[in-house]
Amino acid sequence: MRILVVGGGGREHAVIRKLKDNPCVTELYALPGNGGIAADATCVPIGAKDIDGIVAFAQDKKIDYAVVTPDDPLVLGCVDALEAVGVPCFGPQKKAAIIEGSKVFAKDLMKRYGIPTARYETFTCLDEALRYLETAPLPTVLKADGLALGKGVIIAQTRAEAIQAARDMMEGKRFGDAGSKIVIEEFLEGPEVSVLAFTDGNVVVPMVSSMDHKRAHDGDQGLNTGGMGTVAPNPCYTPAVAERCMREIFLPTIAAMNAEGRTFRGCLYFGLMVTKDGPKVIEYNCRFGDPETQVVLPLLDSDLLTIMQAVTEGRLADTEVRFRDESACCVVLASNGYPEKYEKGFLLEIPETVRSHVYIAGAKQADGKLVTDGGRVCGCVGTGETLEDAIRAAYDVAAQVRFENAYCRKDIGQRALRGV
Ligand code: AMP
Ligand code: GLY
């Protein structure tokens, strides 16, 4: 089978490694992939947002199946365009990807169908937003409506901060057009849990739960990033919470999307907060999380391609999805200064002995050598019988990967060990 994966980060590297386990896969292409993914797939320099380029490539190479992983191409309708030329895909169509593409859509959906989430108001006019903020409870959370590289959320502790954030988003275009509409919502408290779930629109099959570490520095200090590390499973996701999530959130969401004529097929990411009033949705993503995927897929015992095809064909109920009863930890090595200013182009050295435990996010080939090429450079993954074992294994791998300006958080998994 000839398979195409759209995207080029650590998440895509994890997906590609897992797809390779299936002996039916004869050719594997990554568009655009990256210098590290090149060891596992043929990388072709076609950008993930170049829908016409992706479709032309798929036709030219007679691709049998495509996996579209990043948010941008999904929201732009990459799956629709590939399906229109007869290429079956893993990933939601445009009309379903809106669940991530528009926060206003997602919030209104939850309100209409009674799915627990933070209370909110939507604004398209700055003056109205400012008037609302005069009396809004603090802290308050401001979110740009559209995609903003996962950075369109501001938690304002003071009224002045909230006003500044609203101005930046709506007037200063801090997040481009994504901020022309904003959501202002209630600040929720409690541990966060990420749950990725396969769904074909009929059934929903949650994968092992995970915990992201979004802040740049130890102790959850510093700026929000794309994610500095993950662990799975998440100890806050107890069987009782899982049961409530299935009943109050997962099944109602699938039913709501069906009722709206927007059946979701693919991987639906539930960003949850376990509050004292029960689990609530912080956000939906229409795709695998990054770096959640790097801890979830290594624990998957069943064949990924088989599951993905079952999702596409609406046969998920009859397909085995089994996870190993172990733990995993991913420690992200980033370029010093990320998520703001950082240098790149440094030699990236990964010993052969740990190569299979490293997923490359930001690197390219230069003169036959691998050099850093992004803020998040790679994810170092360890698995083990216990969370402690997994954390130790991941940091062991990280210690062996070298580049000049590397930094990582030293406390990935510590909150999970404390159970909060
Ligand atoms: P998002 O991009 O929606 O995942 O938001 C980024 C981060 O902001 C989340 O992971 C939460 O830690 C935080 N966050 C978002 N919404 C809320 C909320 N209503 N209350 C508290 N924290 C929030
Ligand atoms: N790790 C969070 C995300 O993928 O959006």
Specify the pLDDT at position 223. 87
Q: Are 408 and 331 in contact (CB under 8 A)?
A: yes
Ligand 1 pocket test: pick from 193, 282, 420 the residue with the most ligand atoms within 8 Å of its Cβ.
282
CB 316 within 8 A of CB 307: yes
75 touches ligand 1 (CB under 6 Å): no
Q: Is pLDDT at 149 greater than 70 in this prediction?
A: no
Place of tokens 């998957």: 300
Q: Cis link prior to 191 (omega < 30° from 0)?
A: no
Q: Is the pLDDT of residue 148 over 70?
A: no
Tokens of 277: 């009033």
| Percent of the chain scoring above 70 in pLDDT | 97
Measured CA to CA, the distance from residue 225 to residue 129 in angstroms comes to 26
More confident: 72 or 171: 72
Looking at domain 192-318, its CATH class is: alpha beta
Of the listed ranges 106-110, 177-181, 322-326, the least confidently predicted one is 177-181
Whether the link from the prior residue into 137 is cis, omega within 30° of 0, is no
Alpha-carbon distance values, 321 to 157, 198, 258, 371, 415 (Å): 42, 9, 23, 37, 28
Best probe residue, ligand 1, of 153, 269, 277, 281 (max atoms within 8 Å of C-beta): 153
Give 247's DSSP letter.
I
Determine if the peptide bond prior to 351 is cis (ω within 30°).
no
The residue whose C-alpha atom lies closest to atom 3 belonging to ligand 2 is 289
With a 6 Å cutoff on the Cβ, whether 378 touches ligand 1 is no
Please tell me if the CB atom of residue 282 comes closer than 6 angstroms to any atom of ligand 1: yes
Query: 25 φ, ψ to 5°?
Result: -80, 115
Does the domain at residues 327-418 carry the CATH identifier 3.40.50.150? no
pTM of the model: 0.95
Q: Say yes or no: CB of residue 192 within 6 Å of ligand 1.
A: yes
Per-residue confidence band for 224, with pLDDT thresholds at 50, 70 and 90: confident
- Read off the pLDDT band of 51 (50, 70, 90): very high
For residue 290, which atom of ligand 2 is closest to its CA?
4
Q: Is the pLDDT of residue 178 over 70?
A: no
Burial 198-222 (b: 16+ CB within 10 A, else e): bbbbebbbbbbbbbbbbbbeeeeee
323-333: burial string, b at 16+ Cβ within 10 Å, e else:
beebbbbbbbb
Mean pLDDT computed over 352-364: 97
User: What ligand has the least distance to the C-alpha of 154?
Assistant: 1
**Mean pLDDT across 225-233:** 95
Q: Mean pLDDT across the chain, nearest whole number?
A: 95
Q: 83 exposed, middle or buried (CB, 10 Å; 0-12, 13-18, 19+)? A: middle
Distance CA 90, CA 3 (A): 11
Q: What's the pLDDT score for residue 29? A: 98
- The ranges assigned to domains in the chain are 2-93, 125-180, 192-318, 327-418
User: Does 150 score more than 60 pLDDT?
Assistant: no
Give, to the nearest 10 degrees, the angle between helix 94-101 and helix 103-113.
100
Q: What's the CA gap between 311 and 89, in Å, rounded?
A: 9
CB 248 within 8 A of CB 116: yes
Architecture of domain 125-180: 2-Layer Sandwich (3.30)
pLDDT in tens, 294-330: 999 999 999 999 999 999 999 999 999 999 999 999 9
Checking if the pLDDT of 147 tops 80, the result is no
In this structure, the residue with its CA closest to atom 5 of ligand 2 is 289
Please give the class, per CATH, of domain 2-93: alpha beta
289 lines ligand 2 (CB under 6 A): yes
Could you check whether 2-93 and 327-418 share the same CATH topology? no
Ligand 1 centre to CA of 132 (Å) is 20
Q: What percent of the chain has pLDDT over 90?
A: 90
User: How many angstroms separate the most distant Cα atoms in the chain?
Assistant: 61
Q: For residues 66 and 3, what is the distance between their CA atoms, to the nearest angstrom?
A: 6
185 lines ligand 1 (CB under 6 A): yes
